[in-house]
Amino acid sequence: MIEYTDPILLKRPNKLCRTKTSDIYSIGILLWEISSKKMPYKSKFRDELDLIIYVLWENREDPIIGTPQNYINIYQDCWNQNPDQRPNIRKVIQDLNHINLQNIAKYIRIIEPFVPLISAVTLEISEIIAVYETVQYNKKICNSLMNRINASEATMKTLLGSQTENEKNFLSSLQVYQKFEHSSSIKDIFGSLVNDFDAVMTKLHFIMAISNDKQRWMDQFSLKSDIADMDKVIYIPIQF
């Protein structure tokens, strides 16, 4: 309802959210309504736009004649145009408790039926404060749990990163091992070729040795034959 809406929210209704100071503003309007027994601004405006302009220009309902000044001060402080200058809910309750509501009723008969309502509202506000403090405490616990969850998540990311790095190192080592295995295979092949070469060379040396022996024997045989022929020539008898 516009009558109870913080002027700050009326300026930018789609960009701002209600705050505790906005609730204090609404309580101020409600306290005026209790003292007047009337809906706020109903006798002045029928068009909502006119009401919005009126409130944005820092205009409010006038105090009801006979209302104690300390009670007026409470709701006027609550509906202050500047949210930073509004009291908190504890201050409102404290100031209301300092007012003798029964004495007010002696001077303002119209407020007497609302004395129980004001007390009930005060009690409800106290309970709201207790709930709010509990929510704030739970919020701190949730924030602490979220911090732990974030820390655990960061640890998991670190572990996953280490796992990925270890997998890369393993693959790199495996590739080196595969190259080593390939090198070992080449070494074995090379060794086999060397052995084959040595065997061929051994056979070649053997063949060459046999060939040399045969050639030597043939040379010796030829030499002996030549010597025999020379002996025949040398020992031919001379005939006179």
User: Average model confidence (pLDDT) for the chain?
Assistant: 75
Distance from the Cα of residue 115 to its chain's centroid: 53
What domain count does the chain have? 1
Judge whether 12 lies within some domain. Answer: yes
Which range, of 35-44, 142-151, 186-195, averages the lowest pLDDT? 186-195
Full domain range(s) for residue 34? 2-99
How high is the pLDDT of residue 240? 46
Judge whether 106 lies within some domain. Answer: no
Query: Which of the listed ranges 105-109, 125-129, 140-144, 224-228 does the model predict with the highest average pLDDT?
Result: 140-144
Q: How far apart are CA 110 and CA 35, in angstroms?
A: 7
Percent of the chain with pLDDT over 90: 16
Q: What is the CATH number of the domain that holds 64?
A: 1.10.510.10
Which range, of 1-15, 108-122, 137-151, averages the lowest pLDDT? 108-122
Mean pLDDT of 191-196: 71
Judge whether 151 lies within some domain. Answer: no
Q: What confidence tens digit (pLDDT) does each residue in 23-63 have?
A: 999 999 999 999 888 889 887 777 888 888 888 898 899 99
How high is the pLDDT of residue 237? 56
Judge whether 216 lies within some domain. Answer: no
User: Nearest-CA neighbor of 122 among 144, 160, 94?
Assistant: 94
- pLDDT band (50, 70, 90) for residue 72: very high
3-class SS of residue 20: helix
Judge whether 88 lies within some domain. Answer: yes
Q: How far apart are CA 105 and CA 235, in angstroms?
A: 183
Judge whether 143 lies within some domain. Answer: no
Q: Which residue has the tokens 């409130």?
A: 55
Judge whether 185 lies within some domain. Answer: no
Higher pLDDT, 126 or 183: 126
How high is the pLDDT of residue 37? 86
Judge whether 191 lies within some domain. Answer: no
Q: How far apart are CA 76 and CA 99, in angstroms?
A: 15
pLDDT over threshold 80, residue 232: no
Higher pLDDT, 118 or 95: 95
pTM exceeds 0.75 for this model: no
Q: How far apart are CA 170 and CA 166, in angstroms?
A: 6
How high is the pLDDT of residue 8? 87
How high is the pLDDT of residue 229? 67
